[in-house]
Amino acid sequence: MPSAMKIAIIDDERDMRQSISQWLALSGYDTEAFASAEEALKVLGPDYPGIVVTDIKMPGMDGMQFLKKLMGTDSSLPVIMITGHGDVPMAVEAMRIGAFDFLEKPFNPDHMTRLAKKAANARRMTLDARALRRELSDGGQLMKKLVGHSAAMERLKEDILDLGQADNHVLIEGETGTGKTLVAHALHAVGGAGGAQVHAGGVQGLRRRDTDRAAVRSRRSRRRAVAGGRGGRAAAPRCWRISRRWARPCRRAC
């Protein structure tokens, strides 16, 4: 079960700070309150595991300056701005700078909770994506997750290293739970795709003519195989079939 997201609350008014903190804590969040932006900046780093709720008008560093500091540290950190009545133009400017959203006083606590949930979900997705990118950047770690030392598994690992250098499409087929996604990520990690995304999905809902077109594109890409791999031989695109007991190239001309 994922841990509760943190919410940093910054407001120079003690009563407001405590009220927001208590309400969000009752909603299941791990809250921490700060009386000033300067104090909060000592805690909020680029991978802060949560979101920020801050007032705009504060002594010392105000909410706008605070927002700019946060965006300079982590531009994807969700920041919810609290504004007084009549400060809507300032809140709109804050969103232009990078704020996630704003709340106008007096606000409905339930609306604040819904907004916090939306921001927390966005933050969790960002942090998960960063963790995946760090894992993908180390292809060796992903290859270690392909456990087993059978001849079939060793061939699979070698072919992943070969195919990772080929600029072609690779279709991975197999039963549910056999590790197709793991193979796809390993193939991506050892290749030269850089920051490109890996898209995993099922083919059950595809129409027949779509799969036929994919097969034609795959056959065409086979003709454009890129030299590489063991001994400099051509690393042609291949279709892999994977089961719980074996992994082998598909015999079909796809």
228 with 235: CB under 8 angstroms?
A: yes
Cα(69)–Cα(80) distance, integer angstroms: 14
Q: Select from 136, 158, 178 the last residue of a domain.
A: 136
Query: 30 with 112, same domain?
Result: yes
Query: 108 with 161, same domain?
Result: no
Provide the CATH number for the domain around residue 131: 3.40.50.2300
Asked whether residue 155 is assigned to any structural domain, the reply reads yes
| Number of domains making up the chain | 2
Q: Which strands sit side by side in the sheet containing 247-249, from one edge to the other?
A: 171-174, 239-242, 247-249
pLDDT at 150: 81
Asked whether residue 191 is assigned to any structural domain, the reply reads yes
pLDDT at 188: 74
Per-residue pLDDT of the chain (254 residues; tens, 9 = 90+): 456 789 999 999 999 999 999 999 999 999 999 999 999 999 998 889 999 999 999 999 999 999 999 999 999 999 999 987 667 788 888 889 999 999 988 889 999 999 999 999 999 998 987 876 666 555 566 667 777 778 787 778 777 777 776 667 777 877 888 888 888 877 777 665 544 555 555 555 555 555 555 444 444 444 443 333 344 443 444 455 554 444 455 555 44
pLDDT at 12: 93
Query: 177 with 204, same domain?
Result: yes
Asked whether residue 157 is assigned to any structural domain, the reply reads yes
pLDDT at 228: 37
Query: 70 with 120, same domain?
Result: yes
Q: Select from 112, 136, 160 the last residue of a domain.
A: 136
Query: 38 with 146, same domain?
Result: no
Query: 190 with 99, same domain?
Result: no
pLDDT at 110: 93
Q: Select from 82, 105, 136 the last residue of a domain.
A: 136
Query: 169 with 212, same domain?
Result: yes
**What is the b/e burial string over 105-133, where b = at least 16 CB atoms within 10 angstroms of the residue's CB?**
eeeeeeebbebbbebbeebbeebeeeeee
Q: Which residues contact 94 (CB under 8 A, 6 or more apart)?
A: 56, 63, 64, 67, 81, 102
pLDDT at 160: 78
Asked whether residue 49 is assigned to any structural domain, the reply reads yes
Query: 16 with 84, same domain?
Result: yes
Q: Which domain holds residue 210?
A: 139-249
Asked whether residue 254 is assigned to any structural domain, the reply reads no
Q: Residue 6, by phi and psi: left (phi above 0), alpha (psi -120 to 50) or beta?
A: beta
Query: 28 with 102, same domain?
Result: yes
Phi, psi for residue 177 in degrees, rounded to 5: 90, 5
pLDDT at 223: 41
Query: 34 with 115, same domain?
Result: yes
